[in-house]
Amino acid sequence: MVDLGITLYTSVMDPTTSYVVDATTSDFLTSVVNRSNTTPVLVDFWAAWCAPCRALGPVLEQLAAEYAGGFVLAKVDTEKEQALAQQFQIRSLPTVMLFNKGTVVTGFQGALPAGQIRQFLTTHGIHAGGAPPMVLSDDPAERVVQLRDAVANTPTRDDLVLELALAELAHGAFDEATRLIEGLPAARYADPRAVRARARLALHARLAQLTDAGSPHAIALHSLLQGDLTAGLEQLLVLLREEKALEESPARVALVHALQLVDDDAVVRDWRRRMAAVLF
């Protein structure tokens, strides 16, 4: 066999979970069509040689675990199940179809990012755990109580644990927020909201260590934590110029955390260039 340099896609799903199944021609009626009468079924038509399939597959499996019963992911290997591929006229891979109440209702093609797939699922009434999102109070203290109850009732819902951590952070319970975030599974720990929360906690910790609340460092950190990112970044850049000879520049460390609060990649790249110009 000629080595084409292609890494074959291997499913990362846990065979013990009911959220992800391999669907075949012989059991498709049971595993997909009939099952969709009670739970939406997302069918992933894929092939081992398909690079976009190898990118999309783990994302879908991660979402199936995250949604914890909100939908079932049924995987169809089109090389092995050519009859199914022909029946559903699969012309492009990957192709994803959503079955509900025994029929195909919609779908998409290509390796979409997790955020777009979440939006797709929400648009079609699919929520984590099969339940609609909670209506949370605008009051920080009440929000914490609501989420603590929700996590106590469904401790495996790491999406709710992250929501609770964010609520604790907003309420000023930094130690509890840190404990919750550090206990998240790897996939949820890498969630952009968790990354921003860790950065905010790090900045709070640095601010707490400063003895002079009126120092330039403290003023810069206050600006960042109050949402004035531009003012905070500008002040830290000034401090970086003053500290560039230091082996461990407090301003540089704070800038790294501060840039994690920015969700605009172009802005982050610009500030990194400005930092590099100062340092090198």
Query: What's the confidence (pLDDT) of residue 215?
Result: 95
Q: Are residues 171 and 245 in the same domain?
A: no
Q: Are residues 112 and 139 in the same domain?
A: no
Positions annotated as catalytic residues are 50, 53
30-33 CB contacts, 8 Å cutoff, 24+ apart: 31/74, 32/74, 32/99, 33/99, 33/102, 33/103
Least confidently predicted of 29-43, 116-130, 139-153: 116-130
Residues in the chain: 280
**Against a cut of 0.95, is the pTM above it?**
no
Q: Are residues 74 and 120 in the same domain?
A: yes
Q: How many structural domains compose the chain?
A: 3
Q: Are residues 164 and 74 in the same domain?
A: no
Per-residue confidence at 133, pLDDT binned at 50, 70, 90?
low
Q: Are residues 167 and 255 in the same domain?
A: no
Query: What's the confidence (pLDDT) of residue 132?
Result: 61
Assigned token pair, 229: 């990112």
Query: What's the confidence (pLDDT) of residue 179?
Result: 97
Per-residue model confidence as pLDDT tens digits over 226-259: 999 999 999 999 999 999 888 889 999 999 999 9
The SS3 assignment for 17 reads coil
The DSSP secondary structure of 240-261, one letter per residue, reads HHHHTTSSS-HHHHHHHHHHTT
Q: Are residues 47 and 95 in the same domain?
A: yes
Per-residue model confidence as pLDDT tens digits over 135-185: 788 888 999 999 999 889 877 778 889 999 999 999 999 999 999 999 998
Closest CA to 246 of 271, 211, 217, 212: 217
Range of the domain at 257: 210-280
Q: Are residues 227 and 181 in the same domain?
A: no
